[in-house]
Amino acid sequence: MARDRGRFSAQWGEPMPQSKSMRLRPQDAGARALLGVAPHPLEALLASGGDGRLALNARDQCNSYGCTPFPRGDILDFASSTASSISARAFEKVKAAQAQLWLETKLNPGAFDARVEASREALRAHLGLRDAEIVFSPSGTDAQLQALFLVRALLRTPLAIIVVGADQTGSGTAHTSRGHHFSDRTALGVDVQKGTPITGLCDGVRSVGVPFCDAAGHLRNDREMDAAVCAAVAEAMSQGEGVLLQAMDASKLGWRGPSADCLQHIVASWPDRVAVVIDACQMRLGRPQLRDYLARGYLVLMTGSKYFTGPAFSGALLVPAALAEALDGVTAAPQGLHNYTTRHDWPRRWPRLRETLPSTPNYGQWLRWQATLAQMEAYFAVPEAFRNAVLEGFGAQVPALLAASENLSLLDEQCGTVDPLLSDEMVHRTIFSFVPYRNGTPLPLADVTTVYKAMGRNLSASMSPDASDNDRRIAARICQIGQPVVLHHRPGAVLRICMSARLVSDCWALSPAAATSALEPILANVSAVIEKLDWLIARLNLLQCEAA
């Protein structure tokens, strides 16, 4: 593996240069497909087919989230609200999938499309979905563009995109909600200009943000959030617009809005002019809740790279059966969407739409989904009672561990509620946000970012010769936690410690007879993470000098 890593380049997902004797004729589709799978290291393919956030740096082969496309055994990982490195279990599954696809492609040029279709069926099975259609995408941000396209095709009116929790959604949403490019390079390798319109998606579209905090910096309660959302929808209706209402379940802090009653009221009031899409990219919701959203006709944005800890990027748009039938007449995607998605991403029930899209396979995206499906399989193989006990125990203990630190203060605010009848084990809190302090004052975002970056590095080499063995052990500890999130309703920024499907599976493998004892090493690792946080905050001046 180390030998392969030395060969990494920015061109991972592209075919290798060919000599004249190797050049293929246009009709050699099978051979072309084979070149896409075979010559590259698996790690290279896993890091291909995404935008610039997926690119690896030369120093440690990490992407912009500090994650690697190969397993890491040297890390304490509680970062599932942001991203995760691939697990050893998933890596072995992906390795087998790559080899199998290579063999199948030699015999059948259409093998890749069949494999993607099989992934759709596997995802339906894991989530307990029956007839929902699944559109794959490189990321949740890309899936927002797919949702915009479908809602435009359904409503056929000028469109107001109302984004609930606009201050807690991904940074790209500010662009996708206007039908604009959200990066300088698409997942298909096309250079674009960030913030400029996407042909065929931007016309007649305006964006309205409804953040959790109002203009005065006041954190809205549930009633106030519902009122703000209803007011935004009513204002769009008064202008003769249709509405794509993007609700939040849940944000990077675990917040939700608006309420289920509010969504139902809006849809009942304007049944033919509002489409609801649920931002469930964190996937911190129960399967009954997911099915309930789809049964109500809501689209759902999801990723496999948050709670389920598949490698970034693995996104999908879930389309309820009723809307899928209404979309059967859609025959073409707008030209600008061709830079973001291929025909393999779209279900076979829409053949005319698929034919208008690029046929180039996105191997990296497919392989990342194989990793996610492996994590889902392991997670749902754990009995529900055990999953519930682990999440309940983690949720009870982490606040106490954070409270023991003089430098960390748990963010108690929780916006929105869950329906316990629809939530399964996800009724328990899985994201624990906390504000780092120093000398009684919240650290500003710049200092929180400095601490965050230092958490993910082995700092032992920079220790002074007289440093203690304990200091060296703490400095060497590599900890992955959720990225900093700036707060708008109070001073400071938060970091996050998160529970994940992978940790639950690890607990089951360690001690299936007793969730409490299985949690002990996980909680010990949380304590080790907190210890390094305290250690870094005490040495913040040195970190600031290093950063300068």
Instruction: Find the CATH number of the domain harbouring 317.
Output: 3.40.640.10
pLDDT at residue 548, rounded to an integer: 56
| Same-domain check for residues 173 and 299 | yes
- Alpha carbon distance 397, 526 (integer Å): 10
Whether residue 452 sits in one domain with residue 316: no
Instruction: Give the distance, in angstroms, between the CA of residue 118 and the centroid of all CA atoms in the same chain.
Output: 22
- Whether residue 407 is found in the same domain as residue 321: no
- Residue 107 inside a domain? The answer is no
Same domain, 135 and 261: yes
Rounded to an integer, what distance in angstroms lies between the CA atom of residue 508 and that of residue 384? 11
Q: Is the pTM of this model over 0.85?
A: yes
Q: Are strands 274-279 and 299-303 parallel, antiparallel or unpaired?
A: parallel
252 and 178 co-located in one domain: yes
CA torsion through residues 21, 25, 29, 33, sign:
positive
Residue 51 in any domain: the answer is no
Question: Of the candidates 310, 328, 346, which is a domain's last residue?
Answer: 328
Inside any domain, residue 417: yes
Co-location of 390 and 307 in the same domain: no
Are 301 and 398 in a shared domain?
A: no
| pLDDT at 457 (0 to 100) | 94
Cα dihedral across residues 143, 149, 151, 154: positive or negative:
negative
What's the CA angle centered on 518, arms 514 and 521, to 5 degrees? 155
On whether residue 366 sits in a domain, the answer given is no
- Residue 491 covered by a domain: yes
Q: Print the domain residue range for 247.
A: 130-328
Nearest to 308 by CA among 118, 125, 81: 81
**Shared domain check, 310 and 221:** yes
Claim to verify: residue 300 and residue 407 sit in the same structural domain: no
Domain count, the chain: 2
Q: Which among 283, 306, 328 is the end of a domain?
A: 328
295 shares a domain with 396: no
User: Tell me, what's the pLDDT at 5?
Assistant: 38
Q: Are residues 312 and 388 in the same domain?
A: no
Which of 287, 311, 328 is the last residue before a domain boundary?
A: 328
Beta-carbon contacts of 508 under 8 Å, excluding residues fewer than 6 positions away, are 381, 382, 386, 390, 518
The two three-digit tokens of residue 541, written as one number: 């001046």
Residue 451 is assigned to a structural domain of this protein: yes
147 and 246 co-located in one domain: yes
Q: How far apart are CA 155 and CA 323, in angstroms?
A: 11
Low-confidence ranges of the chain (pLDDT < 70): 1-40, 546-548
In a domain, 90, yes or no: no
Joined together, the tokens standing for residue 67 give 């994650």
The verdict on residue 431 lying in a domain is yes
